[in-house]
Chain A
Amino acid sequence: MKQVFAVLTVVAVIALIWYAACVPMNIKGVLSELERGGAEVQPPTASARRDLGEFGLVTNNTFAIPAAWEQKKPRLPSPHQVVIELWETTVEKNITSKRSLIYHGWVTLSATMLGFVIGTGLGILLAVGIVHSRVMDLSVMPWAIVSQTIPIIALAPMIIVVLYSVGVQGIIPKAIISAYLSFFPVVVGMVKGLRSPDAMQLDLLRTYSASRSQGFWKLRLPASMPYLFTSLKIGIAASLVGAIVGELPTGAVAGLGARLLAGSYYGQTVQIWSALFAAAILAACLVGLLGVIERMVLKRMGMAQ
Chain B
Amino acid sequence: MNTESTTQPVIEARQLDLTFQTNDGPIHALKDVNLTIDKGEFVSFIGPSGCGKTTFLRCIAALETPTGGTLTVNGMTPDEARRNRAYGYVFQAAGLYPWRTIAKNIKLPLEIMGYSAAEQEERVSKVLELVDLAGFEGKFPWQLSGGMQQRASIARALAFDADILLMDEPFGALDEIVRDHLNEQLLALWARTEKTIGFVTHSIPEAVYLSTKIVVMSPRPGRITDVIDSPLPKERPLDIRDTPEFIEVAHRVRDGLRAGHSYDS
Q: Which residues does A use to contact B, with CB under 8 Å? A: 200-201, 203-210, 214, 218-219, 222-223, 225, 301-303, 305
Q: Classify the interface of chain B: helix, strand, loop or mixed.
A: loop
Asked if B95 contacts A207 (CB within 8 A), the reply is: no
Asked if A207 contacts B61 (CB within 8 A), the reply is: yes
Name the CB-closest residue of B to A210: B112
CB distance from B89 to the nearest CB of A (A): 4
Residue of B88, B91, B101 ringed by the most chain A CB atoms within 10 A:
B91
**Given A207-B63, A208-B112, are A222 and B97 also a contact pair (CB < 8 Å)?**
yes
CB distance from A227 to the nearest CB of B (A): 13
Chain B contacts for A219, CB-based, 8 A: 97
Contact of B255 with A by CB under 8 A: no
Contact of B83 with A by CB under 8 A: yes
Which one of A204, A210, A225 contacts B95 once the chains associate, using CB atoms below 8 Å? A204
Asked if A209 contacts B82 (CB within 8 A), the reply is: yes
A303–B238 alpha-carbon span in the complex (Å): 38
Asked if B108 contacts A302 (CB within 8 A), the reply is: no
Residue of B62, B85, B95 ringed by the most chain A CB atoms within 10 A:
B95
Chain A contacts for B112, CB-based, 8 A: 205, 208-210, 214, 218
- Apart from A200-B91, A209-B112, A303-B98: 20 A-B pairs, beta carbons within 8 A: A200-B93, A200-B95, A201-B95, A203-B63, A204-B91, A204-B95, A206-B62, A207-B88, A207-B89, A208-B112, A209-B82, A209-B83, A210-B112, A214-B112, A218-B112, A222-B99, A301-B99, A302-B100, A302-B101, A305-B142
Q: Classify the interface of chain A: helix, strand, loop or mixed.
A: helix
Chain B contacts for A222, CB-based, 8 A: 97, 99
A302–B97 alpha-carbon span in the complex (Å): 10
Chain A contacts for B88, CB-based, 8 A: 207
Chain A contacts for B98, CB-based, 8 A: 302-303
CB distance from A192 to the nearest CB of B (A): 17
Residue of B62, B88, B98, B142 ringed by the most chain A CB atoms within 10 A:
B98
A/B interface sample: 19 pairs, CB < 8 A = A200-B91, A201-B95, A203-B89, A204-B95, A206-B62, A206-B82, A207-B82, A207-B87, A208-B108, A208-B112, A209-B112, A210-B112, A218-B111, A222-B99, A223-B97, A223-B99, A301-B99, A302-B140, A305-B142
Name the CB-closest residue of A to B157: A207
Name the CB-closest residue of A to B61: A207
Asked if B63 contacts A206 (CB within 8 A), the reply is: yes
